[in-house]
Amino acid sequence: MASSFHSLTVSSVVPEGQTAKAIGFRLPDELRETFRFVPGQYLTLKAEIDGEEVRRSYSICSAPDDAELRVGIKKVDGGRFSTFAQALAAGDRIEVMPPEGRFTAEPGKVKNPLLIAAGSGITPVLSIARSLLEGDPGAEITLVYGNRTTDDIMFRETLEELKDRFMDRFSLVFVLSREDQDVDIANGRIDADKLKLLAGKGLIDPASHDGVYLCGPQEMTEACSAALQEMGVSQDRIRFELFTPADGGTIPPARKQEQEEKAAGDVVVETILDGARRSFRMNGKQGKVLDAAHAAGIELPFSCAGGMCCTCRCRVVEGKAEMDVNYSLQPWEIEAGFTLACQSRPLSEKLVLDFDAS
Ligand code: FES
């Protein structure tokens, strides 16, 4: 099943910057096809930590032809999974869900993207940059990458090596917020003003790219997205992957109450996953679809449970549902009937959700 976990062996652990590690997995031959990925996708990892199941999604930083499948994991203060992951060693086994995600760029389909990343937002962006440069001799890439200091830069050696190898086709700008660099324009944070300054100096030319990929905290992706549109980039060419929502992913109490009041009480929910139909009853005033399915013993795909990763994306094929929060579905997906099971409350007495819809 595409949505089920597989036990993989950790084959390498490499420190990246001061607080991150790249964790590599060896794939047995029979799982190579299942774990084939498009640059920019992520893996969901699952572990039991202090007696509780914890899942997190991490972007793949390797390229599809690499011998190992690797993810970048940055240690987050108080982060249960990221702290656990820092102690992983070669030979350990961990549960991993096959690749997912729509923040993707395939060699040949995207030729000259502008990539903008902050902190650990570099992980999917590195996979995209390497895959395009190595897989398409015509690809030209500009990467603007923000960090606090040089020591915080993840994959610095890999990026510099890429720059040396593809000098004519890869422009790399490091922006540092807590360390002075010789070139003044490279100091500070990546935001709307910084993009305008970089464009003014000719270091980036946003409107000339066939795609812009933004990966980092919500504040940065939103500010940059607005600035890029002002600079002539159409919205449909801007893609983003969110790492941290600006509000910390919490729903204001008034909004929660409003959602609970609107939701239907006694509801039959039917799910379609890997071709199998299953149903359960729930009360939308007391919870959301993912939690109710879990309580009924029905396993649905999920990772963040906070509306960010899209692992629980499904299409409403009958009935109505509304999300408490949504940080990842694009407007066209909502129009096409997609929803996030982890955030959805039914508004109708019957709700049918198709997790196989793409
Ligand atoms: S599980 Fe991440 S958005 Fe629902």
Is 163 inside any structural domain?
A: yes
CB-CB contact of 328 with 312 (8 Å):
no
Provide the domain limits for residue 46. 6-100
Cα(244) to centroid(ligand 1), Å: 13
Model confidence pLDDT, tens digit, residues 170-229: 999 999 999 998 888 999 999 999 999 999 999 999 999 999 999 998 889 999 999 999
Which of 342, 344, 353, 355 has most ligand 1 atoms within 8 Å of its beta carbon, as the pocket-test mutant?
A: 342
Is 188 inside any structural domain?
A: yes
Q: Are residues 350 and 322 in the same domain?
A: yes
- What is the structure's pLDDT at 255? 86
Pocket residues for ligand 1 (CB within 6 Å)? 302-305, 307-312, 328, 340, 342
Q: Are residues 86 and 189 in the same domain?
A: no
C-alpha–C-alpha distance, residues 20 and 179, integer Å: 19
Is 248 inside any structural domain?
A: no
- What is the structure's pLDDT at 249? 62
C-alpha–C-alpha distance, residues 123 and 58, integer Å: 8
Which residue in this structure is represented by tokens 């449970």?
305
Residues of the chain with pLDDT under 70: 1-3, 243-249
Q: Whose CA is nearest to atom 3 of ligand 1?
A: 307
Q: Are residues 139 and 187 in the same domain?
A: yes
Cα(343) to centroid(ligand 1), Å: 8
CB-CB contact of 298 with 290 (8 Å):
no
Question: pTM for this one?
Answer: 0.89
Is 108 inside any structural domain?
A: no
Q: Are residues 273 and 311 in the same domain?
A: yes
Residues in the chain: 358
The b-or-e profile of 269-308 (16+ CB within 10 A means b, else e) is bbbbbeeeeeebebebbebbbbebbeeeebebbbbbbbbb
- The angle formed by the CA atoms of residues 327, 330 and 332, to the nearest 5 degrees, is 155
- What is the structure's pLDDT at 197? 96
Is 84 inside any structural domain?
A: yes
- What is the structure's pLDDT at 1? 45
- What is the structure's pLDDT at 252? 82
- What is the structure's pLDDT at 241? 87
- What is the structure's pLDDT at 246? 59
Is 230 inside any structural domain?
A: yes
Is 92 inside any structural domain?
A: yes
Considering its fold, how many domains does the chain have in total?
A: 3
Q: Are residues 294 and 339 in the same domain?
A: yes
